[in-house]
Structure 1
Amino acid sequence: MTIKDIARESGCAVGTVSRVLNNHPGVSEETRRAVLAVVARYGYRPNANAKHLKQQACEGLALIVKGAQNALFADLLDKLQPLLEARGYTPTVYYINEGSDELACAQRICAERRPYGIFFIGSHPHCFSPALAALELPCLLLTNNAAEAGIENLSSVSVDDRAAAAVMVEHLHQKGHRVIGLIGDRPELSRPSRRRLDGCLDAMGRLGLDFDFEKQYAFADFSMEGGYAAAEYLLAHCPGLTAMFAMSDLMALGAVRALRDHGLQVPQDMAVAGYDGIALGRYTVPRLTTIRQNTDLLAGRAAEIMLAAIEHPSPAVHETVAFELVEGESV
């Protein structure tokens, strides 16, 4: 009898059976009893050499992070890793750059380390294909919604970027702003930027605000440097501008610095709003008005969904968590 036979007899996943045999704490008592009953019935004895090799290779859980400088991702890792460790798993973080292939990275990790599951943080759903299912382990995309990908082992936890961006535009409108400049990555390449731009356009359409993409949308990567350059573009190309909405807090902080260097005060001469709700925005002068992504909730739900998928195999879950408009001093 093999571990796969025990999994079939007990109705559990191979990974769950392995955890029971290794006395891992992250298994329910009901599941543990079911597996041990099969073990006792057939007198199963694990191969000591194979078990040793498996323990050497296993890294617990893999966290693939796309972009090493993203403050939101750093906050998510700070919240997520202790949750996984508390359940007896060892999380290992792998940073990849924006141009890297996360699927190829996951395949390599599985071949070398055989984790129980993989988190993808900051990836775009279009980066995945049905080949991900061939890894035969739970995967979860964090900060982007993967429902449309339709991959059976890929769950996701995210904020509704489109609705959140619309709320910020409505807030700026309520404060009296009618010409609003947007700072974001290229929408055809960045899913968050695409969703946030769509939300802005939704709100502007409802409010009767005109929007000229060439004049009112400035391209930037998710950095302060990018936000600085984008703010200068908007100042040069968008007459009548009174507010800037940046699609990340780091972009917004770069924009604030650019405005100051041009002799403009925030919010007296120009309103600036951000997105993410990173801690840094609470300590700048002025404090940043932003859309806060609840990293405690994002990390908590991601951990729960992943561990449930490992311990009790089930279909993929796609969950949207609440966002919050935080009024600072920059609008």
Structure 2
Amino acid sequence: MSARDSINVLVIDDSAHNRHTLSTLLESAPDVRVLDRAADGEEGLKKVLELKPDVVTLDLEMPKLGGYTFLRLLMRTAPTPVIVISSYAHKSDVFKALELGAFDFIAKPPRGTREALEGLRGELLDKVRAARHVRPGQRHAAPGARAMAVAGELPLVVAVGASTGGPPAVQRLLEGLAAEPTPCVLVCQHMPSQFTRAFAERLDRIGPFTVTEACDGDTVQPGHVYIAPGGRHMVVADRGSRLELHTPPPTPLDKYAPSVDRLFTSVAQVLGSRALAVVLTGMGADGAEGALEVHRAGGEVWAESEETAVVFGMPGEAIATGAVKRVLKLGDIGPALATLARRKR
């Protein structure tokens, strides 16, 4: 493959060992080329402007110019897809980086075993390839005000599936729904297990709803958002007078945990024609089979449009099934859900 056809990556990390490891993993693929490396944000910003890479990998904790400042300056001067390389010890930092415009993040494995490095290699290459197709400056970030959740009958349950580009998209959806904070939202976001609780805590602080990581046996409540725990599924069960959440472990056949298909299918089985599923940005096809189940049960499936989706894989696959009733820009999904919730009260 020629240099012109390669995905050109700039690696920014203050650790020489990490720079070497990431470069080796990236260049193990014939379609990826490491243009250069930088040891801090200041050097990294200069090299982005000079070399114009397709994708940047970024460590957040660096001397001279930290990751947050780097992202602010980069998105203002030369918007470029950025994949944050984060440690499990700094989970909350990741979500701030995503709000500042980072494309996605990857968690460093706690141990550098051969198996862990192979897993890191696969995830890194998948996300670098997806990032190359992001339109410059495209991101999901929006500030929002907190609103009080309204107690009472549960008028609307919304099941949401997302993957790459999903955390800021989920936040944007919730902010758009803030005008009618009575629904319950069930979120299946592909994310490592060590990050889903931090994701829930961040949304709880800045969004309009009470947000928690789902626990087995939780009763579904109005004005609440439940985040599927990483490494486990989240499904809905009918308990007569109430809906209950369960978080079963994955089986060897499950490609994703949590699985959007599993969530959507359970919502279809329990809610039937009242089921409502929304597919947001993400790589792959998770959610497509579940969307069909919702459609067969008489419920509705909505999908984010290609115009705003950071990665159109999941929404596109759902749309291709013929099960999707509405295709909306991200900024229109929350208000449309609020309008629907008012009608159902």
Which category of TM-score, normalised to the shorter sequence, fits these structures? 0.3 to 0.5
Higher relative contact order (CA 8 A, sep 6+): 1
TM-score (norm 1): 0.36
Greater C-alpha radius of gyration: 1
